[in-house]
Structure 1
Amino acid sequence: MLLAGAAGLGAVLASGSASWAQDITLRLHQFLPPQANVPQFVIDPWIKKVEEAAGGKLKIEHFPAMQLGGKPPELIDQVIDGAVDIAWTVNGFTPGRFPRPEVFELPFMMTNAEATSRAYWELFDKEMKDTDYENLHVLGAWVHGPGVLHSNRPIETMDDMANVKFRTPSRMIGFLLEELNAAPIGMPITAIPEALSKGVIDGAVVPWEVTTALKIPELVKNHTEFAEGNAFYTVTFTLAMNKAKYESLPDDVKKAIDDNSGMEFSAMAGRIQASYDAPAREKAIEMGNNIITISPEETQKWREAAQPVYDRWAADMEAKGIDGQALIDEAEALIAKYTEEQKAQSNDAADEQEGAEAAPTEESGMSETPSDGEATEAAQ
C-alpha cells in the first residue's frame, strides 16, 4: 500500500511537473491594432508557427495597440527591462538609440523590401547583434516597401518641394527634406489624417501600404513615386525578446523560436508588408488620383541631392566612434547582392512557369501552390 501510495504521489508530481513544463507564457506587445497588416499577417502567423513547433509547451499572448500601457517609444525599454517578453517596434521611435540600422533608412538606399530585409538581417548579425542590440535577443529585422510622397500639390521635380510641409517618418528623411527646401514635421503616423485635414501639413511620406487606412487618398490627390528600384526611404523594424527570458527557456522551446526567426522570417515579413502596397495604390487610382512617376534621369538628380544626407550621417556615426562609411558600403553591397539573387530566382521561376505551360498535363491531381505573396493577397 505504501508503495502504491508513493507511486500515486509520484504520478501526481510527474503530472504537475509536465503541466508546469507546458505552462510557459510569453507576452508580446506592439503598437498597431490587431487588424493592421503586420499584426494580422506577420505577427499572428509567426506566433502560431512557434507555438506549434513548441509542441504545446509555449503560449504567446499578443497585446496589440499598446494594451499593456505606455507609448510606442517605450516599447524597447519594456522588453529590455522585462516588463514584456517580446516587442515589435520601429527603431525610429527612439532616434539615435539604434544608430547602425539607420543605414538602411538613408534615402534611396533600399531597392525592395525583401532584398533589403535580407541585407538588414545579415548586417545585423555581423555588426549590430553585439553592439546596438546587445541587450536584446532579436527575432526579426526588416523594412517596409518603398516610401512615397503624398501631397496636396503635384511634386514632379525637386523645385516643387520648396516650402511644402511634409510629415517625416525618420530623422534621415527629415535631413533630406531640409536639403530639398521642404519643411519636415515629425508626428506619429496616426496623426496624419487630422494634420492633413487641418492644413498642419501639406503631405506625408509613407508607403502605399498604410494609405487606405489613413484615408490619405481622400485627403490629398497627388502621389509621387520614383523609377523602379529607387525608394525615397524605408523604415527599419525590430521584433525582439528579453534576453534573460530567452536564455531561461528550455532548449526545445528555444529551438521552436529560433527555427521560425532570423533571415527567412525577416525576408518574409518585408515581402508580406510590401505586398499590400499595390492594392492600396490601385485604390488611389480608382479614386482618380494623380500618380506621378519620376523618370530615371530625374530620379538620379534626387539621388545626387541626397548625398549630403549620407555625408551628414557618416559624420554623425564617426562622432559616435562608428565607421559610418563602411556601414554604407556594406549595406549597398548586401542590398545589391540580394536584389540580384531575387531577380535570378524570379527569372528561374518564370522559365519554369513557361515550361510548365508548354508541357502537356493531366487535369486530374494537378494543383498549384501559391507563393507567400499570393497567399497573402488571397488572405485579404
Structure 2
Amino acid sequence: MQIHCRPLIACALLALPAAASAAEEVVLKVAHSLPPTSAAHTRFIVPWCDKIAAESGNRMKCQIYTAMSLGGTPPQLLQQARDGVSDITWTLPGWTPGRFPISEVFELPYFTADRAASSRALWDFAQADAASEFAGFKPIATWVTGPYVFHFRDKQVKSLEDIKGMKIRAPSRLGNKQLAALGAIPVGMPVPQMPESLSKGVIEGALVPWEVVPPTKTQELTRFHLEADTDRALLASTMVFVMNKKKYDSLPPELKKVIDDNSGRETSAWVSEQFAPADVAAREMTAARGNTVYALTPDEARRWQQASQVVTAEWIKEVKDGQRLYDAAKALVKKYSD
C-alpha cells in the first residue's frame, strides 16, 4: 500500500522509528569468573570489547560481569551462555568434564608448545574435528594457557617420591589423571575455590599457570614453585570465548561482520599472548618475595614425563578415533610451532 504524506515533515516523522531501530545499540552481556584485576579481564576481555565497540561505531557494546556476578558457579558459565543468561562467556572446558572430549587432547601432559602456536593449532583442530562440541555457540576464540606450574605450600618437591600422597589442586579431568599418575592425590576445583583451600590446608599445592597467582594471592599462600624445564608444557588448559548462537544470529549483517573480524585463529593467538606478560610479572613478583622457584633435574624430569605417558595412552584408547585425533592435533602444533 502506498502512503502519501503532506507535508513532507510528516513523512520524515514516520521514518524516524525505522531509522532509530536500525541504529539501535546492542549491549552484549559478557560473563567470567575472575576479579576485575585479573589478566583475563584487563588484558583480553576489556580490550576485545573496546575493539568491537570502536569497529561498530559504538552500536555494539559490552556489559561485563566479573567474578560470577550474574550468579551461579564457574562450571555453570557455559550453560549460562547457552541459555542466554549471558551473551558471551570466557570459561575453561575443564570445568565441565565430558563436555569437550575431543578438543581435550590439547590438555594432555607435555602436549602443547609455544602458546600462540598451540592456540592456532587448537582453533584449526576445533573447526575441523570438534565443531560438534560448540553446538549452540558462535566460537570467538579458543586457546591454551601458558605452562602450568606446581605451587606448594610448605614442601619443596624434587622427586616422584616427594609428591606421592600429596593433595594437589587439579584444573581438569586430564589434570586429575596426570596427578594420579605422578602419585599425588588430585583434588579438582575451579580457581576461585583454590585460595581458601590452600589457606586452610585442604590442599598442599596447586597446579595453575603463573598469571593466576597474583589475583588469587597464591604467592602468599605457597613457598615453593616447580616449573617444567622442557619444550612442552607440563600441563595446559584449553580456554574458550564463545557467544550464544541465537544472539549472534539476531545481529544485523554489519554487526555480525564485526564479531567475525574479531574471531578466529589469529584472535585466538592474540588472546593467548595477552597472558604472557602476566606470567612473567607473576613469576618475578613471587621470586621477589623470597619464594623458591625451581625446576627438576633433567633425569627427574624424564621420570615425570614417562610416568605421565599413561594418561595419553588412556585418552587415545577411550576416545573414538583417538589415535587419528591425537596425530592430527599433534601435527597442527608442530605446523604452527615450526
Letter in 2 for 1:132: E
Residue aligned with 1:132, SS:
helix
Conserved in 1, the CA contact under 8 Å of 2:140 and 2:243? yes
1:125 aligns with 2:127: yes
Pairing partner for 1:273 from 272, 275, 278: 275
Q: What TM-score does the superposition give when structure 1 sets the normalisation length?
A: 0.83
The aligned residue for residue 356 of structure 1 is none
1:315 aligns with 2:317: yes
Number of equivalent positions: 334
Supply the distance in 2 between the matched residues of 1:13 and 1:267 (Cα, whole angstroms).
Answer: 48
TM-superposed deviation, 1:296: 4.0
Q: What TM-score does the superposition give when structure 2 sets the normalisation length?
A: 0.93
Supply the distance in 1 between the matched residues of 2:331 and 2:81 (Cα, whole angstroms).
Answer: 32
Q: 1:309 to 1:6 in 2, by over 3 A?
A: farther
Residue aligned with 1:275, SS:
helix
Letter in 2 for 1:205: L
Conserved in 2, the CA contact under 8 Å of 1:167 and 1:192? yes
Could you say which structure has the greater relative contact order, defined with CA pairs below 8 angstroms and 6 or more residues apart? Answer: 2
Conserved in 2, the CA contact under 8 Å of 1:142 and 1:238? yes
Correspondence 1:73-88 to 2 at 5 A: 73-88=75-90
TM-superposed deviation, 1:141: 0.6
Conserved in 2, the CA contact under 8 Å of 1:90 and 1:236? yes
TM-superposed deviation, 1:187: 2.1
TM-superposed deviation, 1:124: 1.0
Correspondence 1:29-40 to 2 at 5 A: 29-40=31-42
What are the Cα deviations for residues 173-192 of structure 1, in whole angstroms up to 9, with x where unaligned?
11111111111112221222
Structure 2, unmatched stretches of 5+, are: none
Letter in 2 for 1:144: T
Supply the distance in 1 between the matched residues of 2:162 and 2:13 (Cα, whole angstroms).
Answer: 75
Pairing partner for 1:70 from 62, 69, 72: 72
Supply the distance in 2 between the matched residues of 1:183 and 1:307 (Cα, whole angstroms).
Answer: 18
Superposed CA RMSD in Å reads: 1.8
Letter in 1 for 2:219: P
Q: What is the percentage of aligned positions where both structures have the same residue? A: 40
The aligned residue for residue 218 of structure 2 is 216
Supply the distance in 2 between the matched residues of 1:13 and 1:158 (Cα, whole angstroms).
Answer: 77
The aligned residue for residue 23 of structure 2 is 22
Once structures 1 and 2 are overlaid, which stretch shifts more, 201-210 or 240-249? 240-249
Q: 1:4 to 1:40 in 2, by over 3 A?
A: same
Correspondence 1:305-344 to 2 at 5 A: 305-317=307-319, 322-340=320-338
Letter in 2 for 1:136: F
Q: 1:108 to 1:11 in 2, by over 3 A?
A: same
TM-superposed deviation, 1:44: 1.0
Pairing partner for 1:191 from 180, 193, 213: 193
Supply the distance in 1 between the matched residues of 2:194 and 2:63 (Cα, whole angstroms).
Answer: 30
Pairing partner for 2:250 from 233, 239, 248: 248
Supply the distance in 1 between the matched residues of 2:14 and 2:64 (Cα, whole angstroms).
Answer: 31
Structure 1, unmatched stretches of 5+, are: 341-380
TM-superposed deviation, 1:6: 5.2
Pairing partner for 1:166 from 165, 168, 187: 168
TM-superposed deviation, 1:3: 6.7
The aligned residue for residue 136 of structure 2 is 135
TM-superposed deviation, 1:70: 2.0
